[in-house]
Structure 1
């Protein structure tokens, strides 16, 4: 590459448009002509616009030649000065996408004992080199790669390269950058290098689970790898580690069950893990108490090393995470992983930006990186190679790690077609896999109809959304700590509560539901984000006693578990988890974030109550309808005293052992008499702090006394008169 002095700047902004910026200090910024040059090309550009912008004159020029992006071109002005033509905004055009997108399934490293083939998509590069290091990070060699079709650079090196480290050197606009392969499957400690591995050595036996056809059969339990076991009283040996999740028969305070055995006893179906891909925020070679939720993604296809027993061994983290999945499968539990494709940790330092500058991230109309994520960058999922990466990555996790679901962080940043492409790719491999995400409408420069947000849920069938309308209607606003929902005593949230119970679908004539089907709503009142429900209650309902607050907390959780849709529990919610009032604990210490197993023992009666509600939900399909038609045909609300919600699930004998079910929720501080819809032989499955599938007692009266701030479940057995 010959040295060049840039007296001015020239950018390829479209396939046939070049923007030239002449400084006014350079001949007053004036030039009558510009010429595009290469070895066999000498073409005068057509100047179609000229603008005075502060210290420069901006020229917009067009031409008719077909340029090959990645080749070197020169632009000359009338004074004989020249500059290199830089790849500019053309990188973000649809024309560029059409010309240079690549659909091969072979990006990254293809390893064998005899040779390894490296492929990286870098269409705007004029040169790409491969750097190889030994395990001591000593450079072994640099290899020139060859440009192939659609901007893919390729190199095959003979011999067994297993265990060697590697990076790419990429030259774009005459500037060299070093980057880790975005498709790498293994990394060195702290993710500084990609590592060439034999993926066959990480294989574990995949356990086949029974079919899981209905998303509404799921009961999701969200936890964080470190939080789950780090408590000194957890009884788990591998504290804060992947393997801590796999330990069975562990005991917490006073000999009560903890860990995996506790999850099995509780009855949930899916464990959702906060991000387990390699992230920034915790040094993997440090024994300090650094903490992070994991929403700072570095390497998307590699497990986080701080959770494994030996982060210096690139195989260790992969094998241990695979063992987590299969151990849970062995015990009948499924695994959802939290994935963060909407942004990277730092755009300028990401492999995406180093390898193809300007392509993978969304920009506003002024050319500035958009910030709908709040972290300074939004992934441009609508671009073909960004979409391809996400689909390829999800497919990799499904194939290699055998996970059962994906929770998409800030899914509203992504676009509808990308999410549907993911659903299609997943269905080809395993249609039982759940896909859910945060469909918030975020301020990113994507047409509103293209965002993967709740408002577009009808265009994304079989993709579920965290239902903020349910959350705010039952608990109260997340963003107004003092706002109260139905469970916290608000009598003006009755309509919202009814809609939530009915799965947020079009339940009645003329009413437009939030979702097409109940399989699209994830019902929750608490997650890792924001205040825990207990911490909100302490502030929002500070005028009430702890006993009343606990009743309200149980009422909210009962509504999550007994409503139509997919119930979601935050780990520890069942024993009033607290983070000591910390709203955003993403990097708070263990003292704030840990799952406090002493509270599980302290509130054992309440835990048993939630366990009973889970059993009730699992016992009868009427709580788990997967179609709007079923809800319309079998769910009915009744007129009852203020503060009471009562509904029946009637004629439901074909869905379970009970012919009719009656559910009553009360947010009132007084006992109230409620007239039952019909006089019959009702069996009571839930009342006070007792719940389960075995009847507590039989009720033959035409009315019932509903306890203050409580839930009741009554049922008629099949064949009852």
Structure 2
């Protein structure tokens, strides 16, 4: 089909409303009437001008039709001078009427059997759709026309074996032909140019049994990046920087100590969270070690990234290797969380979503301009029914096909509440223990405030955790001001807030003052892949301090993450003072900046041992990880310490573990302090030097001396009379 030279333009903006734009250089922008014709040049409906609006260089006409045009058919608009233009699909696709008319609740993508493969793509605004098939190793494509069915779904079944064929869709929308990869592709070619047809049955793996996870607060999350995890020269891993490397067992550093997965198992964490593993832009899969990227440039949401595979050209390899990695992690009793980036795509204009249904999948402002709350040029319109369906379908695909145990939603505040609640409900139908957490930042996107899945609307998001920036900035100081010091760094101005966040940010005395309604909604952290590591911040804001003091401040902040009510989140390497050499945004910095330095783990082994001990302490008693605000309010109170030292006692908690009372003390001061604790026989599980399940000493008197910048855990088996 050839394009038409448009003297003027016409757009279907509602089901029976057409906007016509006449340039002033065309008959002065004036026409007293318009008519609409179908593709057979027959009159379709009466067309009435409702209003005229003068714009800068054209006249805008709002016109009403008596009948609804059939979306997917071609229509033509005539003016009084005999001028003609095609009726383009406009803002109608962003109306509720369009969503209601074309919502399709069936499966999409390809379905493979050896004797046949079926294709389905949702493209209601297209007038023609074809599938392009490219045999493996061939440059000669085969073009086959698809058939339009209900709800704008185009279908085709090819009755022969198409395994390893690459495919894409050719679509005609608004008289323009576009080629798009299938957004539902589950396997892709090198660099994601095409979808690839494979037999997923060849990749099946059985999920090993995992230790029970009764509640989200039982989780201890360890965030890492596939490549960072093992690319270091002394990681001891054979397949460095790859899925296979992340799953290798019994790896050792140059001193013979465990690294990577075996080390994480020994550390005691329950969940590894990986930065995006879906197919992304930013790394050329033909030379994957020459470029680096975190992975927040989504290309194909349902296919694994190829740069982490030993053979990116083999569509099976990346799938099998990722599944093997997950299986290996599961075999160690550890769960897997993946970072999902449904809030945006890499480039809106070239994305499959925009090519297949232009203007539908992305949010626009009142003037029709694409919104940019994400800061990368586009916001995914999760509130639209087929966009929401896509997110739900994708989450459930990863859950069922890859046996994922959790999802971390990047920039979740861009998405809407209803979508996130539907995700939670769908996931619960398969496995209620699956963790769902996200970044609930309040971003500037044209969605009503009450609809946003952000921290401010946490009451509407039960069962979904949010990264607690209040905790982060209280304990370490502002993330965006390197010189601001938090409570753990000796700033007593954060003292009262620190008490609140340690109690789960739920509002200990008055519920309405809490940030969250449940500790399960609070993901407590002081560093992540974003921004400076805590160590690098300390080198700036505590530059006048000695190295031992900086280490103690770092340790104290990390301990507060692990002992606070809520879900603790550790950035990988945090326990051995991870540094990125002062780089605050390392999303495409080289390996030397981003990798986990396994030599550093040996250098700071004392701190690693201490953090391991604190992890064991947290896991040993359920009172450290209450599941509800009610339990926190019932059992937790603060001890009346002076000098801005925080003391927390958990009382009457024998039903939750072997100890009846638990005390946690945090001293950020650089001075030795003495405090009085409740009477009783107290076993010290953690002091300024050691932490673990074996008592360091027993205290029978009420006075305890605290070393500078230190943390303590004391437990009592029996209530004293």
TM-score, length-scaled by structure 1: 0.99
Counterpart residue number, 1:298: 299
Match of 2:93 among 91, 94, 98: 91
Counterpart residue number, 1:380: 381
SS of the equivalent of 2:279 reads strand
Counterpart residue number, 2:242: 241
Shift in Å, 1:212: 1.6
- Rounded to whole Å, the distance in 1 between the matches of 2:224 and 2:96 is 40
Counterpart residue number, 2:509: 508
> Can you list the C-alpha shifts for 1:442-479, whole angstroms capped at 9, x where unaligned?
01000000000001111010000000000011011111
SS of the equivalent of 2:255 reads helix
Partners of 1:289 and 1:590 within 8 A in 2: no
Partners of 2:283 and 2:293 within 8 A in 1: yes
Mean Cα displacement is larger for which, 603-612 or 197-206? Answer: 197-206
Partners of 1:33 and 1:44 within 8 A in 2: no
Counterpart residue number, 1:27: 27
Mean Cα displacement is larger for which, 24-33 or 582-591? Answer: 24-33
The structure-2 alpha-carbon separation of the partners of 1:20 and 1:610, relative to structure 1 and needing over 3 Å to count, comes to same
Residues 1:617 and 2:618 are matched in the alignment? yes
- Rounded to whole Å, the distance in 1 between the matches of 2:701 and 2:720 is 15
Task: Work out the number of aligned pairs and report it.
Answer: 719
Shift in Å, 1:213: 2.3
Query: For 1:319-468, what aligned pairs fall within 5 Å after superposition?
Result: 319-468=320-469
- Rounded to whole Å, the distance in 1 between the matches of 2:318 and 2:3 is 45
Shift in Å, 1:137: 4.5
- Rounded to whole Å, the distance in 2 between the matches of 1:78 and 1:400 is 58
- Rounded to whole Å, the distance in 2 between the matches of 1:27 and 1:176 is 30
Shift in Å, 1:2: 6.7
Mean Cα displacement is larger for which, 153-162 or 138-147? Answer: 138-147
Partners of 2:666 and 2:711 within 8 A in 1: yes
Query: For 1:92-111, what aligned pairs fall within 5 Å after superposition?
Result: 92-104=94-106, 106-111=107-112
- Rounded to whole Å, the distance in 2 between the matches of 1:589 and 1:288 is 10
Query: For 1:46-125, what aligned pairs fall within 5 Å after superposition?
Result: 46-104=48-106, 106-125=107-126
- Rounded to whole Å, the distance in 2 between the matches of 1:535 and 1:500 is 23
Ranges of 4+ aligned residues in structure 1 off by more than 6 Å: none
Counterpart residue number, 2:6: 6
Query: For 1:79-228, what aligned pairs fall within 5 Å after superposition?
Result: 79-104=81-106, 106-228=107-229
- Rounded to whole Å, the distance in 1 between the matches of 2:520 and 2:206 is 31
Counterpart residue number, 2:707: 707
Shift in Å, 1:140: 3.3
- Rounded to whole Å, the distance in 2 between the matches of 1:314 and 1:718 is 61
> Can you list the C-alpha shifts for 1:662-691, whole angstroms capped at 9, x where unaligned?
110011010111011x21111000001200
Residues 1:472 and 2:464 are matched in the alignment? no
SS of the equivalent of 2:18 reads strand
Partners of 1:361 and 1:369 within 8 A in 2: yes
Partners of 1:534 and 1:578 within 8 A in 2: yes
> Can you list the C-alpha shifts for 1:596-653, whole angstroms capped at 9, x where unaligned?
0011000000000000000000000000100111001100002212130001011100
The structure-2 alpha-carbon separation of the partners of 1:704 and 1:151, relative to structure 1 and needing over 3 Å to count, comes to same
Structure 2 spans left out of the alignment, 5+ residues: none
- Rounded to whole Å, the distance in 1 between the matches of 2:44 and 2:714 is 85
Partners of 1:131 and 1:139 within 8 A in 2: no
Counterpart residue number, 2:604: 603
Partners of 2:364 and 2:370 within 8 A in 1: yes
Shift in Å, 1:52: 1.4
Counterpart residue number, 2:535: 534
- Rounded to whole Å, the distance in 2 between the matches of 1:686 and 1:43 is 81
The structure-2 alpha-carbon separation of the partners of 1:718 and 1:125, relative to structure 1 and needing over 3 Å to count, comes to same
Counterpart residue number, 1:498: 499
Partners of 1:179 and 1:355 within 8 A in 2: yes
Shift in Å, 1:92: 0.8
SS of the equivalent of 1:392 reads helix
Counterpart residue number, 2:525: 524
Partners of 2:511 and 2:517 within 8 A in 1: no
Partners of 1:253 and 1:601 within 8 A in 2: no
> Can you list the C-alpha shifts for 1:270-310, whole angstroms capped at 9, x where unaligned?
00000000000111111542100000000000000010111
Query: For 1:551-566, what aligned pairs fall within 5 Å after superposition?
Result: 551-566=552-567
RMSD across aligned positions (CA): 1.1
- Rounded to whole Å, the distance in 2 between the matches of 1:478 and 1:554 is 18
- Rounded to whole Å, the distance in 2 between the matches of 1:178 and 1:66 is 29
Partners of 2:679 and 2:720 within 8 A in 1: no
Counterpart residue number, 1:717: 717
Partners of 1:137 and 1:165 within 8 A in 2: no
Shift in Å, 1:260: 1.1
- Rounded to whole Å, the distance in 2 between the matches of 1:182 and 1:487 is 46
- Rounded to whole Å, the distance in 2 between the matches of 1:290 and 1:144 is 39
> Can you list the C-alpha shifts for 1:165-201, whole angstroms capped at 9, x where unaligned?
0000011000001000000110011111100111100
SS of the equivalent of 1:691 reads coil
- Rounded to whole Å, the distance in 2 between the matches of 1:120 and 1:42 is 28
Shift in Å, 1:114: 1.1
Shift in Å, 1:139: 2.7
- Rounded to whole Å, the distance in 2 between the matches of 1:714 and 1:623 is 12
- Rounded to whole Å, the distance in 1 between the matches of 2:651 and 2:48 is 75
- Rounded to whole Å, the distance in 1 between the matches of 2:5 and 2:598 is 66
The structure-2 alpha-carbon separation of the partners of 1:4 and 1:290, relative to structure 1 and needing over 3 Å to count, comes to closer
> Can you list the C-alpha shifts for 1:518-542, whole angstroms capped at 9, x where unaligned?
0100000000000000000111111
Shift in Å, 1:365: 1.3
Counterpart residue number, 1:45: 47
Counterpart residue number, 2:573: 572
Shift in Å, 1:249: 1.2
- Rounded to whole Å, the distance in 2 between the matches of 1:621 and 1:718 is 17
SS of the equivalent of 1:154 reads strand
- Rounded to whole Å, the distance in 1 between the matches of 2:143 and 2:718 is 75
Shift in Å, 1:510: 6.1
- Rounded to whole Å, the distance in 2 between the matches of 1:55 and 1:101 is 37
> Can you list the C-alpha shifts for 1:478-535, whole angstroms capped at 9, x where unaligned?
1111111100111011121111111011211365211111010000000000000000
- Rounded to whole Å, the distance in 1 between the matches of 2:298 and 2:89 is 27
SS of the equivalent of 1:714 reads strand
Query: For 1:625-640, what aligned pairs fall within 5 Å after superposition?
Result: 625-640=626-641
Shift in Å, 1:718: 4.1
- Rounded to whole Å, the distance in 2 between the matches of 1:430 and 1:179 is 34
Partners of 2:3 and 2:176 within 8 A in 1: no
Shift in Å, 1:720: 6.3
Mean Cα displacement is larger for which, 164-173 or 55-64? Answer: 55-64
TM-score, length-scaled by structure 2: 0.99
Residues 1:16 and 2:16 are matched in the alignment? yes
Shift in Å, 1:3: 5.7
- Rounded to whole Å, the distance in 1 between the matches of 2:511 and 2:610 is 38
The structure-2 alpha-carbon separation of the partners of 1:8 and 1:359, relative to structure 1 and needing over 3 Å to count, comes to same
- Rounded to whole Å, the distance in 1 between the matches of 2:302 and 2:88 is 32
Shift in Å, 1:256: 1.6
- Rounded to whole Å, the distance in 2 between the matches of 1:485 and 1:217 is 26
- Rounded to whole Å, the distance in 2 between the matches of 1:277 and 1:529 is 19
Shift in Å, 1:5: 3.3
